[in-house]
Chains A and B, each alone.
Chain A
Amino acid sequence: MSKPVLGIILGIIFGALDGLSAIFYPATRQADILMGIVIGSSIKGFIVGIIVGFVARKVQSQRAMIIIGFLVGLFFAFLTSLAQTMSDQPAYWLEIMVPGSIVGMILGYATQKYGATPAEKQ
């Protein structure tokens, strides 16, 4: 499986699971709110996954991809938190950014290690 495709699939799965973890917070336990969080988190995972996947095609270093995954995950988690704050919802900076950056690291590592590199053109 190519790195971008693997990144997208893993991004959606981990994004959805990350969103589902909101079930443990009383404020977001309602079905409609939770569904919105899961969908939003999946979209975030999709975007992070596709970016990480394409970068992994260019970068060959495992370590570099973990760092890139961390930064991309952190950046999009920051945007999500910022959007929440701007829409007058309670702020969950740490609750979103810390797990989001770990998910980014997982995506960076997994796409680099298990994604297929396309054959070089002759």
Chain B
Amino acid sequence: MKWLDDGQLAHLRNVAAEPALDDLPYEIDEVLGAGGMGVVYCVRDRRLGRRIALKVLNNPAPRAEDRSRMLREARIIAALEHPGIVPLYDIGTLADGRSYYTMQFVQGRTMTDVLAEQIMPLAETLRLFLKIGEAVAFAHSRDVIHRDLKPANIMLGSFGAVFVMDWGIAKLLGHGRDDDTDGDDSKHSDGDHSFAGDDSDDHVPQLHTAALTAEARDAHSDLPARSDSSTSLPGEMLTKPGAVVGTPAFMAPEQRSGNPQAHSKQTDVFALGSLLFFMIGGKPPGPEAELRSLRSGERGNKGTRVPRPLQAIMRKAMHRDAGQRYADAGALTMDIERYLSNLPVTAYKENIIEKAFRLIARYRFVAFLLLAYVLVRIVMYYLTRL
């Protein structure tokens, strides 16, 4: 009798675990990601001839809680129709009883991957950040908070498209029941995304896992970072098999404290501030001193010091006290837009010299012409005296 080898066994296991798509016009291309709750596949839609992402719950007989969580997650994503948020196509139940939903399949690279290669020029970074901020601002306008914003959850698609991914632990504000109590906060993705809007990572049912691990990491900064991914960030690590925690640098203090009731739009604002810091400097934010010495520019070059108004914007966004931060992502992006347009930002009180330089920068061509006019007049004046 011939025994099956490990490879054959693994293949059989995978085939057995594959969802029954008999009633659906999809065929599986590849597995994009797997987690505690479910698996995300890249499937081909035979009718339309396109690839889409399919998320399927692991359990054929899911608890009502899991089913409602998935439905809630799908409804949140469906409510967010924005160019920067991956659209949801369909939701239903497979023949084998497992719940699923389908989304746009996004091809591209995560922000982590892009920044690992090259730090972009400051203006380009800010314009890119604006796209991210606008997507989050849209969610905030619908009272949805993301709660897991980090470079690994930003996908840069083809033709300049930017997507905010992984709304798996998003929360709808202003609703009586808080779904966090079933462990949302403990779920954090591993940073390797190559698929549509949501991964199936671990929804670990211990609320404080992430918080404890985040604080433990802070206390022991020499703990090893993940080594199984080229795109992992310092601080991302496995605490136990299958349980991946988030990146503490991008988590607001109230998020680390493990109190989901304290989560608000300002929680996302903190993460956006940290994300901006990371995009500019190529490293997660640290203490205040680092903010002052942060330099922008391509990696390997000395770079230029980040202007004070921009430092102030990041400082305000990453304030320890949530009440001192921007009210929401919209307010933050508005200040960035004002900075890019050489307008005064709300986060920084400029002195008269800074104001003069800003006005010259804003009206640089008029300033140049006026200077040319004055110079011409001076030259003419001296010529007539000769």
Contacts and interface: CB of A to CB of B under 8 A. Distances in A.
Interface of A: 21, 24-25, 94-95, 98-99, 102-103, 105-106, 109-110
A54 B370 CA distance: 23
B380 A95 contact: yes
Given A98-B376, A99-B377, A106 B384 contact: no
A14 to B, nearest CB: 9
Interface residues of B, number: 12
A18 to B, nearest CB: 8
A95 B385 CA distance: 13
A11 to B, nearest CB: 14
A105 B368 CA distance: 11
Contacts of A103: 373
Contacts, number: 29
Contacts of B370: 106
Interface of A is mostly: helix
Contact of A99 (B365, B373, B383, B384): B373
Contact of A109 (B365, B377, B380): B365
B369 interface: yes
Given A25-B381, A25-B384, A99 B376 contact: yes
A59 B365 CA distance: 19
A24 B366 CA distance: 23
A21 B377 contact: yes
Contacts of A94: 380, 383
Contact of A106 (B369, B376, B377, B381): B369
Given A106-B366, A110-B366, A95 B373 contact: no
A107 B376 CA distance: 17
Shortest Cβ-Cβ A-B pairs, 5 listed: A102-B373, A106-B369, A95-B380, A24-B381, A98-B376
Nearest to A103: B373
B376 A102 contact: yes
